[in-house]
């Protein structure tokens, strides 16, 4: 017997047999509660037809974090109409949930054309919102941002990074490296100013690394990224 499992069973029994007024509403806002595999297939097909990304929330009525995030999830479904928000109760669709290898609730999947593009375990609200924004930015061409304006060079690989650093060292230039993301609001705001600065200060080399395309550890083990819009000088 494991203590966590015992506590989970207690919570499950209490919530399953609680009065209806105490049950959480998983279908608020524009969230659709999936009630069968046929219903799932129908929603995936509908999303594919409309060009929408699916956010699938595998949840449970006895799960505290699931209950806490339900109203926020409902609000997000109205904030991001580009996405289709689904909720699957793991107790109602046991076999279906097993097929997705659900080991904790809530678990969120992001799907495009029926294929997984991201996954988020457990409830971290900021990360959930970030994933939604990221998916929208990645898959919506209208929302794409140009990080390579002016004299800014967008780094696409470790080799590209090493080449630019060597080039800057040879020319005696200081490197300004901007670790950014297309879904990051401040990054999008600063991109045009950053491009202008690259033309104003030709004695510097301006680089941008998209953290969704290339991790900071991929380009240098000496850099530690704690937030986006990290700007460092390298030589």
One CATH from 3.40.50.720, 3.30.750.24, 3.40.30.10, 3.20.190.10 for 3-16+23-143: 3.40.30.10
Q: What is the pLDDT of residue 225?
A: 47
**Domain span(s) for CATH 3.40.30.10 in the chain:** 3-16+23-143, 153-234
63 tagged catalytic:
yes
Q: What is the pLDDT of residue 18?
A: 46
Catalytic choice (66, 131, 132, 184): 66
Taking the C-alpha atoms of residue 135 and residue 140, their distance in angstroms, rounded to an integer, is: 8
Q: What string of pLDDT tens digits covers the 235 residues of the chain?
A: 444 454 455 544 554 444 444 455 787 889 999 999 999 999 999 999 998 989 999 999 898 888 888 998 999 898 888 899 999 999 999 999 999 999 999 999 999 888 888 888 865 667 787 777 767 766 655 555 667 888 999 998 889 988 999 999 999 999 998 888 776 767 777 888 899 999 999 999 999 988 777 765 565 555 544 445 455 555 4
Q: What is the pLDDT of residue 1?
A: 46
> Model-level pTM?
0.56
Catalytic choice (9, 10, 13, 63): 63
Strand partners, 59: 89
66 tagged catalytic:
yes
Topology, domain 153-234: Glutaredoxin (3.40.30)
91 touches 24 (CB < 8 A): no
Complete edge-to-edge strand list for the sheet that includes strand 174-180: 153-155, 204-210, 174-180, 230-234
Asked if the bond preceding 106 is cis, omega within 30° of 0, the reply is yes
Q: What is the pLDDT of residue 218?
A: 60
């Amino acid at each position: 017997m494991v203590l966590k499992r015992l506590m989970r069973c207690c919570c499950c029994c209490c919530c399953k047999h609680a009065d209806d007024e105490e049950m959480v509403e998983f279908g608020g806002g524009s969230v659709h509660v999936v009630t069968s595999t046929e219903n799932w297939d129908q929603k995936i097909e509908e999303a594919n037809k409309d060009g929408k990304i699916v956010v699938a929330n595998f949840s449970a009525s006895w799960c505290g974090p699931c209950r806490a995030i339900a109203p926020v999830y409902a609000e997000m479904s109205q904030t991001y109409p580009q996405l289709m928000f689904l909720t699957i109760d793991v107790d109602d669709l046991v076999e279906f949930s097993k097929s997705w290898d659900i080991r904790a609730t809530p678990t969120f999947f992001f799907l495009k054309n029926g294929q997984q593009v991201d996954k988020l375990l457990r409830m971290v609200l900021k990360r959930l919102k970030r994933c939604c924004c990221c998916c929208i930015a990645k898959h919506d061409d209208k929302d794409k941002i140009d990080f390579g304006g002016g004299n800014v060079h967008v780094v696409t690989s470790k080799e590209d990074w090493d080449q630019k650093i060597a080039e800057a060292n040879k020319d005696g230039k200081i490197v300004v490296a901007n670790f950014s993301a297309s879904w990051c609001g401040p990054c999008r705001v600063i991109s045009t100013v950053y491009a202008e600065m690259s033309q104003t200060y030709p004695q510097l080399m301006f680089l941008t690394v998209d953290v969704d395309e290339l991790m900071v550890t991929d380009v240098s083990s000496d850099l530690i990224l704690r937030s986006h819009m990290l700007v460092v000088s390298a030589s």
